[in-house]
Each structure stands twice: as C-alpha cells, then as structure tokens.
Amino acid sequence: MLMKRDERQLADDMKSRDNPDHTTREQFFPPTQYNSNGTIGIEPTAGSTLPQPAVGNDFHPPKRILAKVIAPPDSCLPTITLNITESLTSWGRGPEATVRYSNPNEIRIPKYAFKILLFKPGFYSNPRFSRGDAQIWSEQDQDMGFFISTKASSGIWVNDIPLPSHDHQNPNSKSKFWGQLRHGDVITVSRHDRKSEYAKLRFECYWGKSKEPRAERDVFWLVQDGHFLNELEDVCLAQEKEILADIHRREAEERKIMKLEKEKERLACQDPSRQPFDFHSFIGSHTT
C-alpha cells in the first residue's frame, strides 16, 4: 500500500495545494476501444480537466462481422479478404466504392465490382433502424438476406451464372439487376483468356437467411418482383450515400489533422527556442 503509484492528474495536485481540505478521487486509465478503422484509442476520462481536440476523437466499438468475401486458392488474386460489417458494401478499385481495393491500377478488379446489401422489405423504413447506433443487429432480424448487383462494365458471374451490369458509367445509379447470395457462392468479378486468370471470391455468411448453403438444385437467379426490386434499389442508394458521406467526413478530418501537424512542425523549425506549440489554441483559431 505504501508503494502504490500516485495516479493523480496535475490539475488535481494543484487543487490540493490551493485547497488542503480538497480530496481528489483516484483516477484510473479508461478502457481501450477500437475505432471505426480498427485502430486502438483511449476513451477520455469523464472528469478530465484537459481540453480534447474535436477532430479525430469519434471512437466506436468494432462492428459485427456479418459476412466475408474471401479469394479461393484458384483465384488469380488469392490474397483478397473483405469483412462485411455494413448494411451496404460496394467494392472495387473506383473512388466511389465504400471499400476500395488497395491497388487502383489492378485491371483484373473492376472499378465497381459489386454491391452487397443486407435487406428485407420494410426494415430500413422502421424508425428503430439507425446507422448511428453502430448497427447492433437483433436476432429477430435473422430473416434478412444478402443481395448482390454489379456496376462492372462486363458484368460478373455468381456460380458461373451471369449477373449483368446496368449503367456502369454511373456507379451511384440504380443497378436494375439483383440476385440473392447464399453461403458458399463463388463470385467471379473478371474473366480472362485462361481460367487460371479468373478473379474469384467466395461468399461466407454468418447472419440471416443467406448463411444457409444452396440446396442441390437451388441456382442463383435474378429478382423479378418489381415492388421488391424497387424498394431494394431505393434502400441501396440511400445507404450508399450515407456511408460515403461518413467516409468523406472522416477523410476530411484526417486531412485537417495532418495539416495541423505539418503547421506544428513548420513553426518548430522556424524558431526552435519558441514556446511549445499550443495545439488546442491553434485548432480554435482555424475553426470556421
């Protein structure tokens, strides 16, 4: 007990000196959390007296992995692994994909290879659904299924059955052609002269109706119900717009932080003997 580490903050220590009768409560390190991009951050202490920068401080718990898309060994690009945690995931090497392939020059990956949407009629119009709640999916929504469409110029294939593309030059328009995925389906996003040059992905599902593998005679087919298809399209565009807006916001915040750090380094290089750079004041003076 005599060797217990003093974990009081500096501000608490100064209060104790100014007011001998003031007793401070013990402070403990808050639990770590994973933010939206998978890095670890520290949750700020509720009683902290130090100001916190407003930028880049939006930590969130990790989202549930609903499904995965994994390249099989016979794919020409066998190292691809994609976790599906959002209601809508669009994937490819194009700038408007919600998840971008790391190499924008890899022509075997279409700019907008596919969109995968977790859907059932009426779900997204229910007021209880909110992306801001980190999408904590309820067991009562296990009747949802994953549906796929494409904006690839040549279309794609699901279990060797063609999935056509519609208006591929406009990735944010309606896709028109959708089909339901099942666990174990193989998605071929590009084909070349030799079969060994096919870019393939295997769909693995852990949530909803799509986690059931296909029966022997159950083949991939396109949605024909017009009302079902219209709602599915509207939900896809709305979810995609919201997710892209979140991505662009985070990118803007990251650029702002980088700008502030560069300014800090520039000022330090100009006059090494000057007072330490006041990061929080600088943020306040550059906030519009």
pLDDT tens, position by position, 164-178: 999 999 999 999 999
Q: Is residue 154 part of a domain?
A: yes
Residue 275 falls inside a structural domain: no
> What pLDDT does 192 receive?
84
The CATH code of the domain that includes 227 is 2.60.200.20
Pairwise CA distance, residues 168 & 171, whole Å: 6
pLDDT band at 137 (very low <50, low <70, confident <90, very high): confident
Please give the share of the chain, as a percent, with pLDDT higher than 90.
56
Q: What is the pLDDT of residue 138?
A: 81
pLDDT mean over 109-125 = 95
Q: Is residue 42 part of a domain?
A: no
pLDDT given for residue 140 in this prediction? 85
In this structure, is residue 31 part of a structural domain? no
Give, for 16, the enclosing helix (H) or strand (E). Answer: helix 10-18
Answer yes or no: is pLDDT of 11 > 50: no
Residue range of the domain that includes 186: 67-245
In a domain, 164, yes or no: yes
Q: Is residue 172 part of a domain?
A: yes
pLDDT band at 27 (very low <50, low <70, confident <90, very high): very low
Strand 67-70 vs strand 199-205: parallel, antiparallel, or unpaired? Answer: antiparallel
Lowest mean pLDDT: which of 48-52, 114-118, 147-151, 260-264? 48-52
> Regarding beta strands 88-92 and 99-100, do their DSSP bridges make them parallel or antiparallel, or are they unpaired?
parallel
pTM, two decimals, is 0.70
- Residue 273 is predicted with a pLDDT of 62
How many structural domains does the chain have? 1
Q: Which stretches does DSSP call E strand in the chain?
A: 32-34, 40-42, 67-70, 81-84, 88-92, 99-100, 114-119, 145-149, 156-158, 161-163, 179-180, 186-190, 199-205
CA distance between the termini of the chain: 51
Q: Is residue 138 part of a domain?
A: yes
Do 255 and 106 form a contact (C-beta atoms < 8 A)?
Answer: no
* pLDDT tens for each residue of 86-103: 999 999 999 999 999 999
Judge whether 255 lies within some domain.
no
d(CA 202, CA 189): 11
Which residue in the block uniquely carries the two structure tokens 């692994």?
Answer: 81
